[in-house]
Amino acid sequence: MKQLLQQYAAYNIWANKKLIERTNQLSEEQVNKEIVSSFSSIYKTFLHMMDVESIWWQRLKLAEHVEFPGEKFTGNFDELSTKLLQLSRQWFEWIESANDVNLLHVFAYQNSKKEHFKQPVYEMLLHLFNHQAYHRGQIVTMFRQLGIDKIPATDFIVFSRTPKPLKGR
């Protein structure tokens, strides 16, 4: 299980980097353009992804009051992408140092609706990485709606065929 989670964490970093690199080639206007989607711009979608990685980290660390960093974030896309990648690397490093007890540990948390849940850490991690892939797919659709071409492939199979730098970073 740990090896699979390490792969997913490395994939999450890799795929985020791919879309960030392509987004960095866009104008500020394109990054912030209102588009009908779950979140109304590429920037806001990445902001949500940053929030999610931070929120789950806080929950894992049993924070009494979970904060949404995106509510106070005022940085540009470069600052946002730097923060997102820092959080993604934090997950990778945590999984690398985790053991089976850590991954199977059942932890309690409450969601944004104040509903209480308990589940194993590994299930939360699988959710986190799948959630991020879902929103990366939305960003790809937003690219297409903006007429952007040369969209990088971010499928897991592409990642698995790609030579990896040391420790998936």
Residue 165: pLDDT band (50, 70, 90) is: low
> Cα(49)–Cα(42) distance, rounded to whole angstroms?
11
Give the residue from 14, 1, 5 showing the smallest Cα distance to 157.
14
pTM (two decimals): 0.93
Q: Percent of the chain, pLDDT > 70?
A: 97
Query: What's the pLDDT at 122?
Result: 98
Mean pLDDT of the chain: 94
Set out the domains of the chain in order of their start, with CATH numbers.
2-168 (1.20.120.450)
> Which whole number is the average pLDDT over 77-106?
97
Residue 151 has, within 13 A of its CA and on its CB side, a CA count of: 16
> Which whole number is the average pLDDT over 14-22?
97
The larger pLDDT score, comparing residue 63 to residue 59, is at 59
Query: What's the pLDDT at 163?
Result: 83
Query: What's the pLDDT at 164?
Result: 73
Beta-carbon count within 10 A of 47 CB? 22
Query: What's the pLDDT at 167?
Result: 53
> Which whole number is the average pLDDT over 63-68?
90
> Which whole number is the average pLDDT over 110-133?
95
- Reply yes or no on whether the pLDDT at 85 is more than 90: yes
Residue 64: pLDDT band (50, 70, 90) is: confident
- Reply yes or no on whether the pLDDT at 150 is more than 80: yes
